Amino acid sequence: MSDYKLAINGQNVDGDMVLDVVNPATGDVFAQVARASVAQANSAVAAAKAAFPSWSRTPIAERKKILASFADKLNARAEEIARVMTQEQGKPLAESQFEVSYTEAFIRHFAGMDIASYVVQDDEAFHVEVRRKALGVVAAITPWNFPILIPGFKLAMATLAGNTVILKPSPTTPICGLILGEICNEVFPAGVVNVIVDDNDLGAVLSEHPDVAKVSFTGSVETGKRVMASASSTLKRLTLELGGNDAGIILPDVDVKETAKKIFAAAFMNCGQVCLAVKRAYVPDSIYDEMCDELAKLADAAIVDDGLKQGAEIGPLQNKAQYEKVLGFLESAKKDGTIIAGGEQVDRPGYFLRPTIVRDVAEGTRIVDEEQFGPILPVIRYKDGEDIVARVNQSQFGLGGSVWSADKDKAIELAGEMESGTVWVNQHLYFAPHIPFAGAKNSGIGIEFAEEGLAEFTQIQVINVAN
């Protein structure tokens, strides 16, 4: 018997199989959850399809009330969810608590939004009105780095727009998604939200399914390409939020110590497992040694421990596969650069690595060109006055980036030249439900958050009337 059940057609049901959940701080199994079969995935889609006509006709005011109740129920279980999140994901408890509270804030924001029709022509000849209608069944496929926030905002936006949902959380962090399923069963009509868990074997079932109208996917570039290919046979709508290799461009006039603190925080949050984290720091010759030294001091001082331990600042990598991948990046860093802090495994059970600073490294190496998605920061030197944006823009990624300078106008000018969906100035990582979020180049297709993101869960319908 599993500790957590699937949510299908308003019921909490056992899976046809069981999946072990590993605590990355120990490497040991700490829970078992229901795992869905292909038949159960198809049943979830059928339930969502059956629920769609009634839900899509439900007045938006009622849908908003249900979302507010969803947020209330999430709040009531906040501490439980945060502790479970730290056990299955690894992040420090304070980060988990913040994620739960931020998820609630996202849901409440969307519960306050409207989807309004508008008139584009109204004269003696024609009355032309633009409406937005729900698409149908949405498959939300989510990753392991933010196991409550990403499912939470996808569910909120999809259901507000009148769609029904199949949520498939990552198999290495399934519990948060299944708890969301329990809550949804309490507040949504049966079939509106369904949650299934797999072992990375049901994604294609959803993305190929003829009764799924849209896939909203967050994950790696390679997996996103597979989702896009499998969805092509039915021309599904797609939102793909994919990988990033965000550059932080630091100009010579910054306060080195203060900037180093902010860069470090933006690079190593969630053990560096953030798509929008600073993953490359570009530093001019004139302050390069000083910046490297400051970053190394911060890395050496960081407390790496089980996220449930008091004082832990950086937890383990989330799963064994990612841990081994990052170990490969460390080997490349040793060969291609100079490690001045970290660079070693922690002698204890679990998937722990010290935060690592790599200097004397440049483009053309794995540690700079690829997304590490772990606790490693390469620091790249450039010459004062060099066109550094051109170097940064060589990347295949374009999710985010930042520019740091005492000259705000100069920083804004450089920010506008960067080929990224989001560029911050003198900060990094601030995102919110009212701010559109989109990737450029290989970092994704479509928009999340804000009115622009909500529109992606709808179909435009033009009512064109002859007067």
Active-site amino acid positions: 241, 275
CA 387 to centroid of chain Cα atoms: 31
DSSP per-residue codes, 379-421? EEEE-TT--HHHHHTTSSEESEEEEE-S-HHHHHHHHHHS-SS
437: tokens are: 């979020």
**206 and 179 Cβ atoms separated by less than 8 Å:** no
**457 and 155 Cβ atoms separated by less than 8 Å:** no
**248 and 278 Cβ atoms separated by less than 8 Å:** yes
Torsion, Cα 371 377 378 383, to 10 degrees, reads 120
Exposed e or buried b per residue across 206-230, where buried means at least 16 C-beta atoms within 10 angstroms of its C-beta: bbbbebbbbbbbbbebebbeebbeb
User: Is residue 89 classed as helix, strand or coil in its secondary structure?
Assistant: helix
Q: For residue 247, list its beta bridge partners.
A: 280, 401
Q: How far apart are CA 182 and CA 194, in angstroms?
A: 10
Compute φ and ψ for 220, nearest 5 degrees.
-80, 160
User: Is residue 30 classed as helix, strand or coil in its secondary structure?
Assistant: strand
Single out the residue of 386, 95, 404 nearest to residue 278, CA to CA.
Answer: 404
- What is the strand order of the sheet 214-218 is part of? 11-13, 6-8, 193-195, 164-168, 137-141, 214-218, 237-241, 444-445
Q: How far apart are CA 63 and CA 177, in angstroms?
A: 21
Q: What sign results for the dihedral spanned by CA atoms 326, 239, 270, 355?
A: positive
User: Is residue 263 classed as helix, strand or coil in its secondary structure?
Assistant: helix
Q: How far apart are CA 191 and CA 182, in angstroms?
A: 12
* 11-13 vs 6-8, strand pairing mode: antiparallel
